[in-house]
Chains A and B, each alone.
Chain A
Amino acid sequence: MRVAIEKMREALVAATPPLLAFAAFLALWEWAVWQWGIPAYQLPAPSVIARKLVDDRALLFSSLLVTLSITVQAFLIATVCGVLLALAMAQSKWLARIVAPYAIILQVTPIVAIAPLLLIYLAPQQAVLVCAFLVAFFPILSNTALGLASVDHALLDLFDLYRASAWRRLIYLRAPAALPQFLAGLRIAGGLALIGAIVAELAAGAAGQGSGLAFRIVEAGFRLDIPRMFAALALLSFSGVAIYGALSLLSYLTLRRWHESARGRGF
């Protein structure tokens, strides 16, 4: 208990300087807007954005829910597919050779360019889901495959010595050994799933469809409602941070007992 309190105190101390810097930045922004009388349609003050967040909360939060629910769905599907494919690739070198180039092509092709195409073939919601899935899938696949493949050779010898079956080798050795890389992949994929969803929503929004938060940004832009654009952006930013934070916490809680990455580093 005392250790936990001590840790929280340390975390608070560590978080104070960046929070202070952010507060100072907001104050400077607020001051500049009032000082030079900048109109809200050019640059709204933080206080105006905050008021907009409160006033438009019903619209903005229901849109956020749409975006987040698609992001989470895409992320979960990407996790299941990425892990299953990585496991299959670890069992079969042939499969790995066949899949690897396509996975890389998928990864290096800009998602912004794929989104309009997806919108031709799929309903907007489905297109957003597929888009978010496509960007989240690769880091999970590549990280998990890397983790499964880079098990210490001496440990493999040990399992050879005791004639472990492929299944036991997987659950007792490869899977736990791959956990750190898998979790790192999850952290990357979480943020990317949100980006993929937003990109697809923007593409769909430009065509006048959709109801996610990115669509609200586009819509507010058309109406020159700049404070609402900022409010929606702030919500997206906060969601991204929350996703990253949640996945970092998951990684920390899973690895803290034994893995160096979860010990003594906070980023």
Chain B
Amino acid sequence: MKPLVSLRGVEKRFGSNPPVLRALDLDVHPGEILTLLGPSGCGKSTTLRLLAGLAAPSGGAIHWADPALQKGLGYVFQDPTLLPWRDVFSNVHLPLQLAGLSREAAAPRVEEALALVGLLNFRQSLPRELSGGMKMRCAIARALVTRPALLLMDEPFAALDEVTRFKLNDELLALKSTLGMTIVFVTHSVAESVFLSHRIVVLAADGGEIVEEIQVNPRAPRDAEYRLGPTFSDLSRHASKALLRAMGEKA
């Protein structure tokens, strides 16, 4: 299948510092959940920013199967990045508002997105009135309201407690099966990457080279049993070893 987007020899450097990314080759296939796993500073967030067009590569090329894909993608940041003076509805309305859609015209789509993340009853709440998990759900609804074919997520659950993170992992998979979008997910959590992904790409600490690519059976049911089963622990061990190698230590 033709990839949605391909990175070829992509390099990114900031000023005269050593490059964050040195010749990264990566394909994102339609419908998959691809996780970029790696230690801090390995360039995984930078890769997402390059895909989103928030930064330009210093070298190499990014090929899109359809250039409209990049314009319509969804992005979930590390922090919820909600506008504190807007209520939940208005925050989710924002991307459509910036595209020129009035509140009334956008209402059905905003409400649909809010229903997807279970925040319909909180549409008039302000961000400060929401828990950390609810804020992140609101950010996800905002990313989904434009109905993106590709969703980029930059360690969205890293700041949440484990119970909430598990819950949001489950919810994300449910959203994925409802909406079918492709997801590129950045994390430094081995467990999260194994639970969510169809494919895990482990990036090296220095220069973001691909240390290993781990395939996960996309049809395996992802439920509480999966988290406790032998497949999950085998894959976790495998990914942990790759992560150690990525950090330059002997596995």
* A contact set with B: CB distance below 8 Å: 152, 154-155, 157-164, 168, 172-173, 176, 179, 257-259
Cα(A155)–Cα(B79), bound, Å? 10
**19 other A-B residue contacts (CB within 8 Å) besides A154-B81, A172-B94, A258-B127:** A154-B77, A155-B81, A157-B54, A157-B77, A157-B81, A158-B77, A158-B94, A159-B98, A161-B52, A161-B75, A162-B94, A168-B98, A172-B97, A173-B83, A176-B83, A176-B85, A257-B85, A258-B84, A258-B85
B71 at the interface (CB under 8 A from A): yes
Residues of B within 8 A of A164 (CB): 98
Interface mask (B128-166 → A, CB under 8 Å = 1, otherwise 0)? 100000000000000000000000000000000000000
- Closest chain-B Cβ to A157's Cβ sits at a distance in Å of 6
Question: Do A162 and B84 have beta carbons less than 8 Å apart?
Answer: no
B95 at the interface (CB under 8 A from A): yes
- Closest chain-A Cβ to B152's Cβ sits at a distance in Å of 9
- Closest chain-B Cβ to A238's Cβ sits at a distance in Å of 34
* B contact set with A: CB distance below 8 Å: 49, 52-54, 71, 75, 77-79, 81, 83-85, 94-95, 97-99, 126-128
Question: Do B52 and A259 have beta carbons less than 8 Å apart?
Answer: no
Question: Do B95 and A162 have beta carbons less than 8 Å apart?
Answer: yes
Cα(A155)–Cα(B142), bound, Å? 13
- Closest chain-B Cβ to A113's Cβ sits at a distance in Å of 42
Question: Do A258 and B98 have beta carbons less than 8 Å apart?
Answer: no
Question: Do A257 and B126 have beta carbons less than 8 Å apart?
Answer: yes
Can you sample 30 A-B contacts with CB below 8 Å? A152-B81, A154-B78, A154-B79, A154-B81, A155-B81, A155-B83, A157-B49, A157-B54, A157-B77, A158-B77, A158-B81, A159-B98, A161-B52, A161-B75, A162-B94, A162-B98, A162-B99, A164-B98, A172-B83, A172-B97, A173-B83, A176-B83, A176-B85, A179-B85, A257-B85, A258-B84, A258-B85, A258-B126, A258-B128, A259-B85
Residues of B within 8 A of A161 (CB): 52-54, 75
When A and B form their complex, what is the total count of cross-chain residue pairs whose Cβ atoms lie within 8 Å?
46
Residues of A within 8 A of B79 (CB): 154
Cα(A168)–Cα(B99), bound, Å? 10
Name the CB-closest residue of A to B75: A161
Residues of B within 8 A of A160 (CB): 54
What 10 pairs between A and B have smallest CB-CB spacing? A162-B98, A154-B81, A258-B85, A258-B84, A164-B98, A176-B85, A162-B95, A161-B75, A154-B77, A158-B81
Cα(A34)–Cα(B83), bound, Å? 61
- Closest chain-A Cβ to B135's Cβ sits at a distance in Å of 13
Question: Do B94 and A259 have beta carbons less than 8 Å apart?
Answer: no
- Closest chain-B Cβ to A180's Cβ sits at a distance in Å of 10
Cα(A161)–Cα(B84), bound, Å? 19
Cα(A69)–Cα(B222), bound, Å? 71
Name the CB-closest residue of B to A263: B128
- Closest chain-B Cβ to A207's Cβ sits at a distance in Å of 49
Name the CB-closest residue of A to B80: A154
Residues of B within 8 A of A152 (CB): 81
Residue among B83, B97, B128 facing the most chain A CB atoms (10 A cut-off): B83
Residues of B within 8 A of A155 (CB): 81, 83
- Closest chain-B Cβ to A46's Cβ sits at a distance in Å of 46
Residues of B within 8 A of A163 (CB): 71, 98
Cα(A168)–Cα(B94), bound, Å? 11
Name the CB-closest residue of B to A159: B98
Cα(A155)–Cα(B99), bound, Å? 17
